[in-house]
Amino acid sequence: MNLPPTTDGARVRQDLRSVVRDIESIVRGLGDATSDRSVELKSRALMGLADARDRLDAMEHGAAARLRIAGRHGRQYVRERPWLLVGAAAVAGLALAALLRHRR
């Protein structure tokens, strides 16, 4: 379950993926470097990027799981207490009507 693209979470996720892609392209651009130091740096950078990508995926899956659980709990709450929801909606409707009446 993905968040709508306008949410902050989605924006952060897109930004992080973009940074990872940019760094990958830079590191791959070093491709022909032959010195031992540059080969070691490239290898470490690619390993770090893979780790960052894995953590980002895990964070995304964890957030989706928490969102599903919260939705399940919300549905269960409403099923167990339907009249509470009806009462809250009635109060909100009366408050809105009073505000609209007051504006005239």
| HSE-CB of 47 using CA atoms within 13 angstroms | 6
* pLDDT score for 71: 93
In 3D space, the residue among 51, 59, 47, 48 whose CA is nearest the CA of residue 12 turns out to be: 59
* pLDDT score for 33: 60
Q: What is the mean pLDDT of residues 30-51?
A: 74
Q: What is the mean pLDDT of residues 55-78?
A: 89
* pLDDT reading at 20 higher than 90: no
Q: Which two tokens stand for residue 31?
A: 């491709």
pTM attached to this predicted model: 0.50
Q: What residue ranges do the domains of the chain occupy?
A: 8-103
